[in-house]
């Protein structure tokens, strides 16, 4: 028998050559795939920058890029506008007259309207007693036996609610008229300036 045919290395040589060919071919395919990926993709931490419909370069990933965009709420259809109110006081024939206004867009408008209402019966000495914005107000008058008296001092107080305004105004009225212990303070008027809704 030939000595070459007995050598195991010589017998396996054709298979080694085939395996080496496969390895070279696989390496070549991996290199081509990597190059294609490098040409069309971007390194980790970057995203493609497009211009004219094609990828021209890569850039850093901006903050929040992968965060889901929060849905925006419904767009408001308008706004609430705070309003003014005012109380004016005057007298005619020793009788006290009131003029009140609420829901006005400015302080001057509320005061003008309250003065006009106060003088609607011929009063010529009306003056603004209190003006207030986006609040409630209460006016208390001291009375004796259910009737006002000449030395009594009225009190008007503004607050967040009508109940609070009534309570404060009554307490202030009692304090101002404490020299007349028989006097009882009564709420003559209480109201709030309601906001107005204006559509866009």
Q: What is the mean pLDDT of residues 25-46?
A: 57
Q: Which helix (H) or strand (E) holds 175?
A: helix 162-176
The H-assigned helical ranges of 99-151 are 107-118
Q: Which pLDDT score is estimated for 35?
A: 43
For residue range 92-104, list pLDDT tens digits in order.
887 889 999 999 9
Token output for 82 = 């705070």
What share of the chain in percent tops pLDDT 90? 52
Domain ranges of the chain: 1-39, 80-199
Q: What is the mean pLDDT of residues 1-13?
A: 50
In our burial notation (b when 16+ CB lie closer than 10 A, e otherwise), range 126-153 reads: bebbbbbebbbbbbbbbbeeeebeeebb
In DSSP terms, 46 is beta-bridged to 60
179 contacts 149 by C-beta, under 8 angstroms: no
Lowest mean pLDDT among 9-13, 70-74, 108-112, 124-128: 9-13
Q: Which pLDDT score is estimated for 79?
A: 92
Q: What is the mean pLDDT of residues 140-155?
A: 92
Across all residues in the chain, what is the average pLDDT?
81
Res. 1 pLDDT band, cuts 50 70 90: very low
Cα(103)–Cα(84) distance, rounded to whole angstroms?
6
Residue 82's alpha-carbon distances to 86, 135, 137, 156, 159, in angstroms, are 14, 9, 15, 20, 15
Most confident option among 34-38, 57-61, 186-190:
186-190
């Amino acid at each position: 028998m030939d000595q070459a045919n007995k050598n195991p290395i010589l017998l396996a040589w054709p298979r080694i050559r085939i395996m080496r060919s496969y390895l070279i071919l696989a390496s070549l395919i991996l290199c081509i795939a990597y190059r294609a990926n490098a040409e069309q993709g971007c390194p980790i931490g970057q995203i493609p920058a497009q211009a004219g419909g094609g990828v021209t370069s890569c850039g850093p990933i901006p903050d929040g890029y992968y965060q889901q965009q929060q849905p925006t709420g419904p767009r408001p259809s308008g706004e609430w506008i705070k309003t003014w109110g005012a109380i004016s006081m005057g007298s005619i024939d020793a009788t006290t007259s009131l003029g009140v206004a609420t829901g006005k867009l400015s302080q001057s408008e509320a005061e003008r309207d309250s003065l006009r209402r106060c003088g609607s019966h011929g009063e010529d000495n009306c003056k603004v007693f209190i003006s207030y914005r986006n609040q409630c107000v209460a006016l208390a008058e001291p009375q004796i036996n259910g009737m006002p008296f000449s030395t009594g001092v009225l009190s008007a107080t503004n607050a967040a609610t009508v109940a609070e305004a009534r309570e404060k105004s009554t307490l202030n009225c009692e304090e101002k008229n404490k020299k007349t212990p028989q006097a009882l303070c009564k709420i003559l008027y209480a109201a709030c300036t309601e906001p107005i809704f204006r559509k866009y």
